[in-house]
């Protein structure tokens, strides 16, 4: 069975940041992806397309942070970091 790394960051916070400020890339800064956050800031969320894709990825649980760990916990971040 494959071990999946879980991010200590909250999926709910990332989703709310993406929904309300996603066109500025704020959710990407939250998960540590500064480079793509700056790109989203400069392009207004990839003219909205990138922003919508990120909302879907976060809601489905496919979004990953800078360390390639999935954002899975909605409320309380995982203490162990793995599932």
* pLDDT value for 3: 80
User: How far is Cα 21 from Cα 68, in angstroms, rounded to an integer?
Assistant: 22
* pLDDT value for 80: 53
Whole-structure pTM value: 0.85
* pLDDT value for 77: 62
14, 58 in Cβ contact below 8 A? yes
Rounded average pLDDT per 10-residue block, the chain, 83 residues: 84 96 94 95 92 96 94 73 51
Residue 64's φ and ψ, nearest 5 degrees, are -125, 155
* pLDDT value for 78: 55
Question: 37 by DSSP, 3-state: which?
Answer: helix
User: How far is Cα 31 from Cα 10, in angstroms, rounded to an integer?
Assistant: 9
* pLDDT value for 2: 73
Question: 82 by DSSP, 3-state: which?
Answer: strand
Give Cα 34 to chain centroid, integer Å.
Answer: 12
* pLDDT value for 4: 78
List the domain boundaries for the chain: 11-60
């Amino acid at each position: 069975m494959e071990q999946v790394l879980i991010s200590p960051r909250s999926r709910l916070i990332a989703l709310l940041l993406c929904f309300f400020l996603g066109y500025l890339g704020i959710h990407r800064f939250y998960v540590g992806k500064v480079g793509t956050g700056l790109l989203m800031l400069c392009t207004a969320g990839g003219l909205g397309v990138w922003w919508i894709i990120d909302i879907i990825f976060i809601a489905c649980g496919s979004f990953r942070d800078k360390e390639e760990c999935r954002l899975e916990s909605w409320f309380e971040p995982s203490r162990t970091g793995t599932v």
